[in-house]
Amino acid sequence: METILLYDTTLRDGTQGEKINFTALDKLKIARKLDDLGIHYIEGGWPGANDKDRDFFETARHEKFKNARMVAFGATHKFGIKAEEDRHLNAIINCGAPVGTIFGKTWDLQVKKILRIKLKENLDLIRESVEYLKAHRLEIQYDAEHFFDGYKDNSAYALQTLTAAYEGGADALILCDTNGGTLPHEVEAIIGEVRRHLKKIRRDKNGDVSIGIHCHNDSGLAVASSIAAVRAGAVIVQGTINGYGERCGNADLTNIIPVLKLKMGYPCISDENLAKLRKVSLYVSETANMMPLDSRPFVGKSAFAHKGGLHVNAIMKEPRTYEHVNPELVGNRRRVLVSDMSGKSNIEYKARELGIDLEKNGIDSREIISEIKRLEQGGYQFEAADGSFQILVEKLSKKFKPLFDLESFRVTIEKNKDRPCYSHATIKISVQGEVEEITAAEGHGPVSALDNALRKALNHVYANVLDPVHLVDFKVRVLDGRDGTGAKVRVLIESRDEDSIWSTIGVSEDIIEASWQALADSFQYKLDKIEKDKIKK
């Protein structure tokens, strides 16, 4: 079966997504991760358009990528000047990338209304631009912008633009669903027509040409259309990690890769690299400062999460009953959620996952269910707080060893007319039951001040191990508004490090105390994991 080549445009098209912005160093770090994942092409940006992308390519030219070829992006040369005079084309040649991708107008509407030139003149722009780049011994991929819209409006002209790029010597023709409005069955049918057209015009001196696909997700069909394109004969699939991109985003490679590999049998990446997929997804979302989407297929936190007791009972006997693939294949893991609706199977599965033998410790799973129901009646919500749940089960099974204990804390908040409101926290804890630490720190709010003070105290014993840990989400929910400002509140904190995400919970009539409970559980969870990893080694 033919290898499908993966083309990542996170560093270029992905950055057009709202709120996403990468520095040149960010882009280089992501490129290394993509190369390690086994991506074949990494589109680094538009060197002729901005200084940041020029800086990136200047640095990237000294990198030794083991799997990927670096790609520089640009457009066909400007009308009215020669190809060799166009600064964007020359930037592609001079940036050091071995591959260039340029886009051109395929839709006659765009040629007439946007470029405002004759249709024949646009064909010349395409042919001349590709010829000029090919003369400099680059691999050239031609992005046929708005191809499917153009084909539906004027199929003859859309095919002529592909012919122009082919005659110029393009190595690949990438068919773009730029507006994201084409349906998968339309994509499949149109690519069939394209292949028949190329068969007619192919000349021996130009050799063969590859077909690729580039889809946007405005109809929620980018992945489906990309898969349809592969079925129709496309061998290059463009997309972004996590589907980042303009408007509704691009085709999501974290979805496409496992579908191609596991569902369709295409050898696009190795089994070893496929297992890195979730980590790469998390790394890109962290670098982009975007919340990971829990429900994202294959790599999301909830992709293999089970809550219903009957479901959990079934997967304990045969995982395939409620899982379409083994989560470990994509670097994910099975999660069993617990709540007041949990059954015996949920608790026993979670205990085994934590390495706790309930029977050996004289704990009946029904006792844990009873305690969970009691706590959830009081406002806790353990299905959303896996870190706190682990601590709870270890406490009930007498396995919990607190790595620090609170003696006291004090938080003050000050506001005056000359500066914004700020907070100061003083904290007294005992660490590992022996060392007593008293520290103080400021913060941009009471929880921030407590966080800073606790880190400061723990760093004296656990030097630097908490540096990678930081809060990524903080939610407060009033449980019963009838009590007004004296109502109980539930605080959920989501924390992460380089490899994982965990959630913890606190409930109290005092928002600071609830926040402390969730914060303390988060740090206990992380430190406990570190201690257990030491024992394993």
* 163 within domain boundaries: yes
Contact (CB, 8 A) for 273 and 33? no
pLDDT at 327 over 80: yes
How many structural domains is the chain composed of? 3
Angle at 17 between CA 11 and CA 22, to 5 degrees: 40
Q: What is the largest CA-CA distance in the chain?
A: 84
Per-residue model confidence (pLDDT) at position 382: 78
What is the residue type of 60?
A
Same structural domain, 129 and 40: yes
Range from 201-215, 321-335, 424-438 that averages highest in pLDDT: 321-335
pLDDT digits (tens, 9 = 90+) for 152-167: 999 999 999 999 999 9
pLDDT of residue 116 exceeding 60: yes
Cα separation values, 410 from 152, 432, 508, 513, 531, Å: 68, 22, 17, 11, 29
Q: What is the pLDDT of residue 276?
A: 96
Q: Are residues 166 and 22 in the same domain?
A: yes
pLDDT range class, residue 309, cuts 50, 70, 90: low
Expressed as residue numbers, the domain containing 360 is 305-396
Flag whether pLDDT at 60 surpasses 80: yes
Residue that has been written with the tokens 């539930």 in this structure: 490
Instruction: Report the CATH number at residue 66.
Output: 3.20.20.70
What is the reported pLDDT for 238? 98
* Residue 129, domain member (yes or no): yes
* Ramachandran assignment for 195, one of left (phi > 0), alpha (psi -120 to 50 degrees), beta (any other): alpha
pLDDT, one tens digit per residue, over 200-236 is 887 544 568 999 999 999 999 999 999 999 999 999 9
Claim to verify: residue 326 and residue 439 sit in the same structural domain: no
Tell me the backbone φ, ψ of residue 345, rounded to 5 degrees: -65, -40
| 262 and 216 both lie in a single domain | yes
Judge whether residue 342 has pLDDT over 70. Answer: no
pLDDT digits (tens, 9 = 90+) for 343-396: 667 777 777 776 666 666 666 677 777 787 788 778 887 777 888 888 888 888
Q: Is 116 part of any domain?
A: yes
Average pLDDT over all residues of the chain: 89
pLDDT of residue 486: 67
- The closest of 429, 423, 428 to 442, measured between CA atoms, is 423
Residues 142 and 101 in one domain: yes
pLDDT more than 70, % of the chain: 93
On the question of pLDDT at 67 being above 60, the answer is yes
What pLDDT is attached to residue 355?
A: 67
Dihedral-angle region of residue 96 (phi above 0 means left; psi in -120 to 50 means alpha; beta otherwise):
left
- Say if 278 falls within a structural domain: no
Residues 80, 101 within the same domain? yes
Task: Confirm whether 300 is domain-assigned.
Answer: no
Q: Do both 359 and 411 map to the same domain? A: no
Final residue of a structural domain among 396, 422, 447? 396
Q: Calculate mean pLDDT across residues 474-478.
A: 87
Domain boundary among 352, 378, 396: 396
Q: What is the pLDDT of residue 428?
A: 92
Read off the pLDDT band of 467 (50, 70, 90). confident
For residue 285, is it within any domain? Answer: no
Of the two residues 477 and 151, the one the predictor is more confident about is 151
Q: What is the pTM of this model?
A: 0.76
Same domain for 107 and 132?
Answer: yes
Tell me, yes or no, whether 76 and 195 share the same domain: yes
Residues 386 and 429 in one domain: no
293 part of a folded domain: no
- Residue pair 191/229 in contact (Cβ under 8 Å)? The answer is yes
Q: Domain boundary at 246, 269, 292, which?
A: 269
Residue with tokens 């405005």: 218
Per-residue pLDDT, 205: 43
Written as one letter, the residue type at 118 is: K
DSSP structure string for 143-182: EEETHHHHHHH-HHHHHHHHHHHHHHT-SEEEEEETTS--
- Is the same domain home to 41 and 175? yes
Q: Is residue 232 part of a domain?
A: yes
Q: Are residues 330 and 433 in the same domain?
A: no
Q: How confident is the model at residue 130 (pLDDT cuts 50, 70, 90)?
A: very high
